Structure 1
Amino acid sequence: MQADIWGRAEAMEFIERGPEFGRLRTALQECAEAQGGIVLVEAGVGCGKTETLSWVGERVGDIGALLLTATGSRTTSGQPLGLLRQFLDAPALPAELAAPLAEMLDDGDAPRAARRLTTALHDVAHRRPVVVCVDDLQHADSASVQCLLHLGRHSSRARILVVFARSLGPASQDPHLDTEFLRQPTLRRIRLAPLSPAGVAELPAVGGDPPGREQAHEFHEITGGNPLLLRALVEELRSATDRLATTVLRPAPDGPFSQAVRACLRRGGGAMWRVAKALAILGAPASAEVSGALAGTTQVATAQGLGALAAAGLIEDDRLRRAARTALLDCLDATEQGALHRRAATILRHEGAPAARTARHLLAARNASDPWAVGVLREAAEEVLSRDRARRAVAYLELAAEQCRDPAVRAEVQVRLAEVSWRLDPSAAEQHCLGEPLAALAVGDLPESSMASLGRQLRAHGRLDAAREVFDRLRKRTDPRAEWVEHVESDVPFPWSDDPRPRAPAADPAERLEAAERLLRVSGLTDVTLFPIVTAARLLIARDRPSVAEAHCRDFLAESIRRAAPGWAAVFASACAEAALGQGRLPDAEGYARQAMEAMPEHTGSLYLGGPLAGLVSVYTAMGDYEAAARQVNRPVTKALYSSLHGLAYLRARGRFHLATDRARAALADFLHVAWLAHAWRVDQPFLIPWRTDVAEALLRLDETERARRLVVEQLRLCGPGGGRVRGTALRLRAMTVDVAERPELLTQAVEALRRSEDPLELARTLEALAESYRARAEPARAATLQSRVWHLTRDCGARPRYRAVAHAYADLLTASTAAPTTGDTNLSESEKRVAALAACGYSNRGISEELFITVSTVEQHLTRVYRKLDIKNRRELPSHLRTGLHRV
């Protein structure tokens, strides 16, 4: 900032001082008229009392007065009559006054000195007025003060004015002196307050222009309107390289502003300094009792210190202003701050303060060694969690776990810490689960109250073996009729079972689906309900109700974002991606999957990352964007992922990618790995992990039809009569294992099953297989009709139709047109017929160019010739045998 910010910086203290200076001006005039007396100017530290005395001194010449000045000092406060000795240094001291003053000071007797001073100054006042200005009265020696008060008391009819100035603070609160002032009949008391925001706005800023309202408010927010601090802040900004309009008003740690704050506090006296330190450590508003206890001051000194801070503008809303607090804390070393924070925690606990307030100081001190500290930290974590301050709760629990000496309590805290950490980072939650809680479980130190939570979290992280051990131990130590046992037995998406064989679904799954939907409707989102909610949503997705699951998960996702819980957001965004993929809405699924990935910390090594990553691979594979899918497949993942439940989803997604890119053996390896893990972990569920159809599809690509047939038949048996998507997929693959003549019947059953689901992509695959079967039976018109529907379903989902299917459709259209030609149709070339067929299908010119690998200009030329040969005007008039077959749904 190059320009002079305040052209009238010396006049800063005179803004909003009109009434005060008016009273001083009146006092000077009355002094000239032999109506003297005493004026007491009081102000907070830095609020302009010295400048006010200077203003008085500059105007004594208007009345032709003699000016005598003195300033109190801590170094001379113990010297009797030390203040009065400064009068001898007055530059215009008359000779007739100098000798009596010197003689009086040498006498040393205070009462006699007071009388002699009064007599000497009265002699001078007969010839000219006398004005005595004394600054920093609070540091003056008592003998000098008594002499001056005696002078003022006997000057009501003389041309003598005594002007005192003192800072408001503990050092100025001498009760005897205040009583003496009250006894003065001619006393005028003037108090200088800090500037208001409106007063700050009057100050010239850059180039002499007043600051805007917002800028003035910011200045006042930092300084409290204290003129000394304002001047220091301006000086700091003046030395900045940028101009004020672009400078962030954040004082430097050891800049002019911070130094001025510390100087103000030091000048206010020891009690003011200690009270200010206490307020800085406490941060939040505190009672005078708490502040005094932390400062180590008496009740009177505490009140005086608080009053002095308020008078200097350093207190706002019963707390030290933020900038002043920062300036003060910056000068305290870490050891002193830690000791004060620990003492503050002890005092606040004794006063019955909320646990979160006490815990804040324990955290700042990094000390929870007192017996009560861990309990306060745990209670405080729950308090701040109720306000969705998860990061602070994690900090409290981490300190509690770090310094707790009881192994059982420490393990219990770690389990709770893992629950809370899910809100922020599943990877951190995973690390908390795998450490001390499992070690405490092994030696029997983990309380039963924490076992169920630990087991649920381990299962959510995919650590099934560890989760099973936890639940097995809990079963042995708990009544089998307990409520949690029933919950675990019915848990989803992987029902607990000790039976290694795959289980068929319950006879009536509708009841479980209804219970899952009801859970989503009535449950609030908490650390405890997170996993049941996600479990219920994934059950609905697996059982052909993805739209219902997505609607609820979308609401929970919005709530997670609003409550600043990125870990929860990753969980629900991943579930939304799975649901959108199940409905064939590929762009939406991609968006959700990316959102889930972005919500996870970049450095995370969490096993939970396998879920969102699998979602992205599946979406890009379904879209036909194999380059994007390959980039996700090639991302490095932790080896532990393949030994966790989330690894199943990732392996399935990678296998589908291999299958789509004609790497059937690589796909088979991934699918068989899934099968092995599902058996080993006893989570083989046909609806949730349909690995049999995955393996069968890979085997069919490798011409191992019989092995594929056995797997598909077993899948159909396990599915039972219900199940739309899973059963439809199994029926489609079953059709591929029979003779071509038998396929339409099975494929028609598959289509009927898929109509009960919400998966248009799987329906498109089945319709394409049915079109292929009609093509093999020499029914091109029916094949073309089905292929048209496949095109539209695929395009609506956001996927690219496969080139092979497009080529088959061309052949179907050509065959159909040859069987039922129309007038002019035979004049079309093969290229023109292909372009016309796609145009009848609803493709745009650019879409036709992409499918046929020709330019848009060539497409336009072909269509122009087609319209001319068929004597039509646009594509809507294309022959009915093309358009009808392609657009019938």
Structure 2
Amino acid sequence: MAGHGGVLLVSGAVASGKTALLRAFGERASAAGALFLQATASEAESDLPLGVMGQLLLGADLPGADAKRAARLVDLMAVAAQIRRAEGVLPAVVMNEIPGLCGIVLEQARERPVVLSIDDVHHADGHSLECILYLARRLDTSRILVVLGENSGFLAGNTRLHVDLLRLPGCRNIRLGPLERHGVAEMISGFGDEGWGTRQLVSDLHRTGGGNPLLTRALIEDRRTADGGGCGSAALVPGEAFAQAVTTGLFRSDMSTRNTAWALAVVGPDVPLAELVEVLGTSRESVHRSLRALNDAGLLDSGWFRHEAGRTAVLRSLEPAHRARIEARVAQVLHEHGEAATVVVQHLIAAEPIDAPWALSTLLEAAERALADDEVELALTCLRAARDTCTDARQSVAIRAELTRAGWRLNPATAARHLPELTADALDGGLGARHTVELVGHLLWFGQADSVLEILDAAERGGGAGREAPGQPAAQASRRLDCVRSWMAYEYPGLPGSARARARHGDDERSGRTPARSPHQRAATLMKAVLDGAGDDVVVRAEQILQSTRLDDSTLTALVVALNSLVLADRLDTAALWCETLSKEAAERGAPMWQALLAAVRSRIELRLGALAAAEQSARLAVTLVPPEGWGVAIASPVATSVYAHTAMGRLDEAAAQLAVPVPESAFHTPDGLLYLRARGHYYLAAGRPYAALDDFHACGDLMTRWEFDVPALVPWRTDAAEAHLLLGDDDRARTLAQEQLALTGGPNAGAAWTRGVSLRVLASALHPGRRLSLLGEAIDTLRERGHRVELARATDELARAHRELGNGGRARALARKAQQLGRECGVRVPRVSPVADTGNSLPAEQPWPPGSRRGADELSDAELRVATLAARGHTNRQIADKLFITISTVEQHLTRAYRKLAVQRRADLAAKLSPVPVPVAGSGRREGHREGRHEGRKDGGARDRLRVV
């Protein structure tokens, strides 16, 4: 500056602080009295002749004459360059005018020092660079300082500028490196946040920002935002400012570097350099240079992003169409290099459509692998992409079938939309045997049994249509169809011909013509053993299935059948252990449908064990994991458990709410429909509607008899109906039904402890107290051995009642307390155990009514007293209704409330409570009354075989 000038070339990575340095130097030069001429080159103006020189001269504070002269020369040279420019050669007029244009700067330098500052000189146009070189060669005698800033990451497009400048004696090259840790600490203090300057924070900022000033500043801003502008202890989490800084730095880099960053972000961290080079379609040297530039810029560290937020920002800067092209290229390269389908498909999904056979096969292979690895969402995504690109009609059918199978694991309701198309394909013979079997299961799930029969009939007419391959033997296809029909006979016993199909299956099994190989065949054989009442054989077969079958989509139903068979065989502990094991596996593998079905089974086990609250929670979990619309006909099972549990706990309003859940009509062709009818019947009993309860119980009996599917361990409808008759005072009919049920359960060791215990208890209730003790003792022993706590509590209460009526007060009190304790353990709010309060041998047991309330006839309302008095005198329900001019249903309700208030369970006990009312005469009148009342009840509650949910 004291008579001679120089050139300063400031190099550095993108956003390394070059612009800030040039700006600060310019401010100091202006303050010292120098003429500061500045310009910023840009990639968009790199082809504009004299664009940079025009910025320097036309934006400077030049005298009027010099300003006009500069404008004229710039215009003249720009026009001449555009007209006569030849590739690599400047026209003569331009070369002649350069001295004149640069002379303006030289003349200004005679009066005062001149500083020329050009930022991003790597974007400068060629004509302006010639002017800079012209001035640089005359700096020894001129007070001109040329300060240039360049991005070192750009390709050396201006090689001549570098060569000519760096050989000049007055030229210096400064290279800016990344910030050190102390520089990061100073930057923090520059924000006025000295309290932030902890070693850990400085280290985190330095590691994440790579020492790049732009990225570091953005990280500090994000942390200030997270801290609300304070100096709190918020973690360093890159945010929007960081993402914007990454995008800014990326677009200030050259195109080669941007492409490399984009390709690297798409392809992932483990790609070899050779494959990245192939994706970019450039040279290895170019990729090396770009990676080095990204490392210098602080975005990468050893060839990969320092923070995932950096990669996310780079991907976000990509135009969707451009990214789809990169993804397609990456997928192709990875496929050609033999990468696994699950790796390639990650890019195929996001790529633009690829019309190549390998793409479709890769999607299908990846979907199969993903489903095997329990990545259902990935499998569905692959299958949807395959469906959208497949042009082969037959293959499209198979893809739809796979979409249904994969979606079923999450929610059958969403997968059901493919069923109509698949049904049409199956009827046309275009569906493979495996997919046909799966389709049959899906259709049965939603109660479409008619469609299933059509498919099976069409397959039989076609001689085994739906084979997996043209060479598949017809006998093999026929065996598949026979297996499906035999399975349907147990899953849908209400279908026409199911009983004959079960009988034929039994004959084939005994003759050895159909060996049980598949889980479904073995499950069908297991159900045959359940129907035959072979208790020990049921347990053996069920455990064989559970031990040898892996949980998957095709075996889930067979495993559920095995668990339910253990429940019916009263092996509750074994069933609970297996159910817990399978439920954990289903949860670990992320299969909501599997979890839901197993939760429904667990609720039935807990119900048998007397864990009423747990049973209700498991049933609720089942319909939470899969909503009711996804359950199809099987919704009857969790709803039945929930209704029964709520009823037993005295929560009738909640039980009624569960009865409002829609149950398909076709559910009543399945065993689950029987469970629903039984649960609803017990709700009606608790709600004071015994005739409606009888309708449901006898509907169960009618169906099971018609189906030849009378399994007392599933639904003991005779004892259920007997309880309703006891409530109506018809002891004779109750006794007959209980004896029939007991005869069907076999001996004490027949494997039907629950059914036998219930039957013994109900039969005892219909007998004289002196004959009850032995039956109830056996019932208690049987139920205690198998852990049926609710029924154990009821049997214990009945035994307490029998001892009380026989005058054994001490024994009655002890048993009553035990019954109440069992009831509380089960969660029964108002136990069915009856408090014994009698003169002479009264029991100080807990009462189901509030303390201090009345326990005699004066507690009844006038209407209840009138009905109870007539009932005690032996009148039938119809006769009472006729005398009082009310309906039979109203009589039932009054009687039920009277029973509850007086703590009695039958008409025979009303006389003692309503003394001095005479004891009613039991006999034919009561049976007649029941018969008439039941007829009337049908008009009120519906016909016995009416199965619609009400």
Spell out, residue by residue over 1:848-867, the C-alpha distance to the aligned partner (whole angstroms, 9 max, x if none): 87365489xxxxxxxxxxxx
Distance 1:397-1:694 versus aligned 2 partners, 3 A rule: farther
Q: Secondary structure at the match of 2:567?
A: helix
**Separation in structure 2 between the aligned mates of residue 280 and residue 447 of structure 1, nearest angstrom:** 42
Matched, 1:72 2:72: no
- Hey, what's the Cα distance between the residues in 1 that align with 2:388 and 2:568? 42
1:386-425 pair list within 5 angstroms: 388-401=374-387, 404-406=390-392, 408-425=394-411
* Alpha-carbon shift at residue 291 of structure 1 (Å): 6.1
2:538–2:565 contact (8 Å) kept in structure 1? no
Asked if 1:631 is matched to 2:651, the reply is no
Note the 1:509-524 alignment, pairs <5 A. Answer: 509-515=538-544, 518=547
2:876 is aligned to: none
**What is the match of residue 766 of structure 1?**
795
Match of 2:579 among 514, 534, 553: 553
Cα-to-partner distance string for 1:218-255 (whole Å, 9 max, x where unaligned)? 99999887655777899999999987889998978xxx
**What is the rounded CA distance, in whole Å, between the counterparts of 2:427 and 2:363 in structure 1?**
26
Contact 2:325 2:352 in 1 (8 A): no
Matches within 5 A, 1:528-607: 528-601=554-627, 604=630, 606-607=632-633
Q: Distance in 2 between matches of 1:206 and 1:187?
A: 33
Superposition deviation, residue 182 in structure 1: 6.7
Is structure 2 residue 433 aligned with structure 1 residue 448? yes
Does the alignment pair 1:134 with 2:118? yes
Kindly indicate whether the alpha-carbon contact (under 8 Å) linking 2:446 and 2:633 is maintained by their aligned counterparts in 1: yes
Q: Please give the residue correspondences for 1:103-502 in structure 2 after superposition, counting only pairs within 5 Å.
A: 131-145=115-129, 148=132, 161-170=145-154, 173-174=157-158, 187-193=172-178, 199=184, 202-203=187-188, 265-271=250-256, 312-313=297-298, 318=304, 341=327, 345-364=331-350, 370-385=356-371, 388-401=374-387, 404-406=390-392, 408-429=394-415, 434-451=419-436, 453-454=438-439, 476-478=477-479, 485=517, 487-491=519-523, 495=526, 502=531
Give how far 1:657 is off. Answer: 1.8
How many residues in Structure 1 have an aligned counterpart in Structure 2? 785
Contact kept in structure 1, 2:433 and 2:477, CA below 8 Å: no
Residue in structure 1 matched with residue 17 of structure 2 by the alignment = 48
SS in 1 for 2:532: coil
Gaps of 5+ in 1: 1-30, 818-833, 856-889
Q: Is the 8 A contact 2:536 2:751 kept in 1?
A: no
Tell me the residue number matched to 1:806: 834
What secondary structure is seen at the aligned counterpart in 1 of 2:523?
Answer: coil
Shift in Å, 1:553: 3.1
The answer (yes or no) to whether the contact 1:63–1:129 under 8 Å persists in 2 is: no
- In the TM superposition, residue 97 of structure 1 has moved relative to its aligned partner by 11
Contact 1:452 1:471 in 2 (8 A): no
Q: What is the root-mean-square deviation in Å for CA atoms of aligned residues? A: 5.4
Asked if the contact 2:122–2:154 (Cα under 8 Å) also holds between the matched residues in 1, the reply is no
Bigger drift between 114-123 and 348-357 goes to 114-123
**1:583 & 1:198 partners in 2: Cα distance?**
71
Corresponding residue number in structure 2 for 1:796: 825
Distance 2:748 2:383 in 1: 46
Given that residues 582 and 598 in structure 2 are in contact (C-alpha distance below 8 angstroms), is that contact kept between their aligned partners in structure 1?
A: yes
Change beyond 3 A, Cα 1:709–1:693: closer
Tell me the distance in 2 between the aligned counterparts of 1:718 and 1:459.
36
**Contact kept in structure 2, 1:37 and 1:153, CA below 8 Å:** no
Partner SS, residue 815 of structure 1: coil
Cα distance in 1, alignment partners of residues 182 and 840 from structure 2:
87
Residue 612 of structure 1 aligns to a residue in which SS?
helix
- Aligned mates of 2:382, 2:400 — CA distance in 1: 11
1:576 positional shift? 2.6
- Match in the other structure for 1:21: none
Structure 1 residue 760: deviation in Å? 1.2
| Matching residue of 2:691 | 665
Shift of 1:98: 9.6
Q: 1:144 to 1:58 in 2, by over 3 A?
A: same
The Cα offsets for residues 344-381 of structure 1, whole Å up to 9 and x where unpaired, read as: 54454344444334434444469586544443223323
1:485–1:76: structure 2 CA closer, same or farther, 3 Å change rule? closer
TM-score by length of 1: 0.71
Note closer, same or farther for the CA distance 1:109–1:677 as it changes in structure 2 (3 Å cut): farther
Q: Secondary structure at the match of 1:188?
A: strand
Aligned-pair distance for 1:116?
A: 9.7
Q: How far off is 1:190 after superposition?
A: 1.1
- Given that 1:218 and 1:249 are in contact with CA atoms closer than 8 Å, whether structure 2 keeps it comes out as no
> More deviation in 594-603 or 622-631?
594-603
Alpha-carbon spacing, 1:634–1:436, altered in 2? closer, same or farther (3 Å): same
Distance (Å, rounded) in 1 between the aligned partners of 2:625 and 2:799: 42
Pair 1:749–1:212, CA change in 2 (3 A): farther
- Kept in 2: contact 1:505–1:718 (CA 8 A): no
Query: Which of 792, 814, 829 lines up with 1:785 in the alignment?
Result: 814
Question: Could you say what secondary structure the match of 2:834 adopts?
Answer: helix
- Secondary structure, aligned partner of 1:491: helix
| Percent of aligned pairs with the same amino acid | 30
- Alignment gaps of 5+ in structure 2: 78-90, 465-475, 484-512, 856-950
Give the conservation status (yes or no) of the 8 Å contact 1:408–1:447: no
In the alignment, which residue of structure 1 is the partner of 2:744? 715
2:756 maps to 727
Which amino acid in 1 is paired with 2:840? T
Distance 1:674 1:461, change over 3 A: farther
Tell me, yes or no, if structure 1 residue 60 matches structure 2 residue 29: yes
Post-superposition Cα deviations, 1:749-791, rounded to whole Å, max 9, x if no partner, equal 3333223312111122223333344445454444433323211
Q: Distance in 2 between matches of 1:646 and 1:220?
A: 65
User: Out of 760, 772, 779, which is 1:750 matched to?
Assistant: 779
C-alpha distance in structure 2 between counterparts of 1:576 and 1:403, whole Å: 43
Q: Distance in 1 between matches of 2:642 and 2:412?
A: 19
Which deviates the most, 66-75 or 786-795? Answer: 66-75
Name the CA distance, whole Å, in 1 between partners of 2:63 and 2:825: 105
Partner of 2:859: none
**Cα gap change, 1:464 to 1:101, in 2 (>3 Å):** closer
Classify 1:504/1:557 alpha carbon distance in 2 versus 1 (closer, same or farther; 3 Å): closer
- Other-structure match for 1:850: 850
- Provide TM-score, normalisation by structure 2: 0.67
Question: How far apart in 2 are the matches of 1:628 and 1:212?
Answer: 60
What secondary structure, in the 3-state scheme, does the structure 1 residue paired with 2:364 have? helix
Cα shift at 1:696 = 4.6
Structure 2 residue matching 1:850: 3-state secondary structure: coil
CA distance in 2, matches of 1:261, 1:52: 21
AA aligned to 2:606 is A
Distance 1:368 1:458 in 2: 35
- Report the 3-state secondary structure (helix = DSSP H, G, I; strand = E; otherwise coil) of the residue aligned with 1:381: helix
Structure 1 residue 56: Cα displacement: 1.9
Q: Aligned partner of 1:444: which letter?
A: G
CA distance in 2, matches of 1:154, 1:405: 72
Query: Which range moves more in the overlay, 590-599 or 280-289?
Result: 280-289
Q: Residues 510 and 591 (structure 1 numbering): CA distance in 2 closer, same or farther, change over 3 Å?
A: closer
Which stretch of the first structure deviates more once superposed, 218-227 or 767-776?
Answer: 218-227
Distance across 1 between alignment mates of 2:618 and 2:657: 18
